[in-house]
């Protein structure tokens, strides 16, 4: 079995919106056969935690110099563009 990919999901408080995004990514990647480990954090913690992640998904602005593929989490909350961002996440995780 493939080694799980680490997805860092950030929002303002690491509680509400990051949980919605985390569940959506976990479910979608499972359907696509990609094992993931989700780590939730506050946006202020992203820089210190990004090193151990394969990708970052954030519902609030985060630094753009993390050295990791970074995706906006807004489509998971609005539904607009969600399938495209999931495709983009899959592509990044498959590398």
Catalytic residues: 11
As given in the structure block, the two tokens for residue 16 are: 């509400």
Whether 56 contacts 94, CB under 8 Å: no
Whether 36 contacts 5, CB under 8 Å: yes
């Amino acid at each position: 079995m493939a080694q799980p990919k680490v997805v860092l999901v950030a929002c303002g408080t690491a509680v509400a919106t990051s949980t919605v995004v985390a569940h959506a990514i976990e479910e979608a990647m499972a359907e696509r056969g990609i094992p993931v480990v989700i780590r939730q954090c506050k946006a202020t913690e992203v820089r210190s935690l990004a090193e151990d992640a394969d990708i970052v998904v954030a519902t609030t602005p985060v630094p753009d110099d993390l050295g990791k593929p970074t995706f906006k989490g807004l489509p998971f909350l609005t539904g607009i563009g969600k399938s495209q961002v999931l495709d983009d996440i899959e592509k990044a995780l498959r590398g």
